[in-house]
Structure 1
């Protein structure tokens, strides 16, 4: 398959001109797959109403079939077509955080979306992305767009179009290059189908922000306890992993350097994932900076790019610093734990 690459200036007036977006939208209308930027990561989109189109997402990514997809919309009128909004809390969250990095799980109307989008569940995950290219593409396509991250399943999510090209060139119909994404980690997923909202996946909107809006919010125990099955099916799989094995180290930079030296003595090439403040403390074969420790949002934005950059270095092992599990740090640690297969070293 030939993959068309379009480049779009996200800062321009996308409501006029830009035939690239119309071309990409036409592919979606014809049930093809198109990757596009959002404010979190690049998504791989297809017509959420078409089972044939959605099947192409699973095929391109190698994604497990019991892993539901998030449906992206351009306005709330689209939402009313396939979801039931029967929660005041859901309405409040939409008002405060849409467009933005928040996905809501809502009751799904029958017979509108492909059952492969919901993985046979009676609920649907939906969000309105805060990115001009994504919104214009969905608007021009005129259909709700199912879109997981645009990467091979299990690998770090793409935050640049070049990441999508690396993983999916020749496997999908098109890629809209709108430049680097902003938030860097996927959206927060919140179920609004019961009494108290439940975070099924931490992300760009923090628990603290949610609670300021609607009061108490619970966290699915499967997020914090690896022995418990997460409610959100997609969260049970290993994700975001670089080629070399990865472990999170809860300790000082001196502790991590001692581990590096120990592995190097055994003849192993070692990498370390760190921040600007601590990068000078390490004598490793590959040192990658993902952001600054005093601004965790920069770590979130740079995490996946840093993890991808280890590939090709022929490393035997990677050590990653740990981060406070509060605010966006909760999402960062969730992604690192998944990338590490829950390997944690208490130094």
Structure 2
């Protein structure tokens, strides 16, 4: 019997995608061979769930399929509010290793974690700022860096006592975290040193290595800068690690509203 997870591929051309039909056909054949599932996600509207169009997979099925893959230790590709990302269970050491292998990533470069709700941050991080500050920045295109808690997988970034945490302003990502009941490790969907991606066809060479690719269409912000990364591990201070796409608004909240001062730290 054909299973939802293990059968071939559903390839739906992303809205506005610039890749050729030939390239998509090649992608289909590659994914059929290796059992990658590529599904199109349309976000809910203000009036409720989006109307389903031809070729679109039901949102509940996408969530179920993706969660199943994650819980089996696989790596998936997902849209976020900034760029496309690769995600796996942060508490799975084997899955973490797979992410590094897929990206060809330097083992000394950390992965961030993604959670569904602000209260989840306190399980995995030692927070030294007011909860109201977290609420002003999250969900949003910001990664906040804190000292990690003891419960977080020691094989995730074992070279540092810190961890970056995100709550993307994206319904799919938040729901995936909620359904998994634990954080996802998250990094950009591209080969290391290559540009960040804002459409699924841009990382098509990675599809055969992934269990699921969720096509959320082109991401609106074409800056490809990713989230703004800020270290808040020192009481009363902040340090910008990566300017990203929301630097000005983030610094304004940190300085003007909460009185934090910049700590340049080490280069």
Tell me what 2:138 maps to: 98
Aligned residues between the structures: 219
1:68 aligns with 2:106: no
Change (3 A) 1:24 1:80: same
For residue 22 of structure 1, the aligned residue among 53, 59, 64 is 64
C-alpha distance in structure 2 between counterparts of 1:163 and 1:11, whole Å: 24
Q: What CA distance in whole angstroms lies between the structure 2 residues aligned with 1:133 and 1:17? A: 9
Distance 1:17 1:131, change over 3 A: closer
> How far apart are the structure 1 equivalents of 2:40 and 2:162?
35
Aligned to 2:247: 206
Q: CA RMSD in A?
A: 2.2
Instruction: Indicate whether 1:50 and 2:88 are aligned.
Output: no
Gaps of 5+ in 1: 222-228, 231-347
Matches within 5 A, 1:1-347: 1-12=34-45, 13=48, 18-88=60-130, 91-110=131-150, 112-165=151-204, 167-183=205-221, 184-194=224-234, 195-207=236-248, 208-210=251-253, 211-218=255-262, 220=264, 230=267
The question of whether the paired residues in 2 share the 8 Å contact of 1:92 and 1:214 is answered with no
* Counterpart position of 2:3: none
Deviation at 1:163, TM superposition (A): 1.4
Q: Any idea what SS the aligned residue of 1:81 has?
A: helix
Change (3 A) 1:113 1:169: same
CA displacement, residues 47-90 of structure 1 (integer Å, 9 cap, x when unaligned): 001111111100100000001111001112322221112323xx
**Whole-angstrom CA distance in 1 between matches of 2:264 and 2:208:** 37
CA contact (8 A) 1:67 1:119 kept: no
Superposition misfits of 4+ residues, deviation over 3 angstroms: 11-17
Q: Which has the higher contact order (CA 8 A, sep 6+)?
A: 2
